[in-house]
Amino acid sequence: MEVQLMSEKACNCSAPAVLARVAAIAAPHKGREDMLIQVLREAQNVAGNAIARDVAAVIAKEMDLPLVKVYGVVTFYAMFSTEARGRYIIRMCKSAPCQVKGAEEVLKAFEKELKISCGETTADGKFSLETCECLGICDVSPAVMINEEIYGNLTPASVKGIIAKY
């Protein structure tokens, strides 16, 4: 019986040019397990914001690592996904400090503005909305991270202006 390592929703159809770019990213780090997270970040950026099965297989081969090791890292860290996500990934902190300061209402405002629920991607593929554990910026809670950009001291009223920037 074949073990399915990646979600059935994960695309296994990356373009050859994408797989070649992923191989070029991973190959210099052969045998360097300590570089896996950096390789995954770079690969995810060129592979459409997801680490599909074929992308993970190329990384494993080029870095001379077991595929289960690559998959374990991909599924452990919230910054990685096996499923396609939007161009802009909105991560809403769900830690206690953010919750106490109104994160739930801010999340509802994002859902209303984007017309999606948490865990979904807009129909145009532009935004994905997720929650995550602590962003480490409790002093400006509630907070979100959109790709690498941080927004803090949020209110439901501030959401529309933030989305408009994108």
Domains, the chain, ranges and CATH?
A: 16-76 (no CATH), 88-164 (3.40.30.10)
Mean pLDDT of all residues in the chain? 90
Give me the mean pLDDT over the 17-36 stretch: 97
pLDDT at 3: 37
Name which residue leads in pLDDT, 104 or 6: 104
Give me the mean pLDDT over the 68-79 stretch: 91
DSSP state of 49: S
Give me the mean pLDDT over the 135-155 stretch: 93
Using a cut of 0.75, tell me whether the model's pTM lies above it.
no
Chain centre distance of CA 10: 13
Name which residue leads in pLDDT, 78 or 66: 66
pLDDT at 13: 57
Residue 91 and residue 128: Cα distance in Å, rounded? Answer: 8
The three-point CA angle 117-158-110 to 5° equals 5
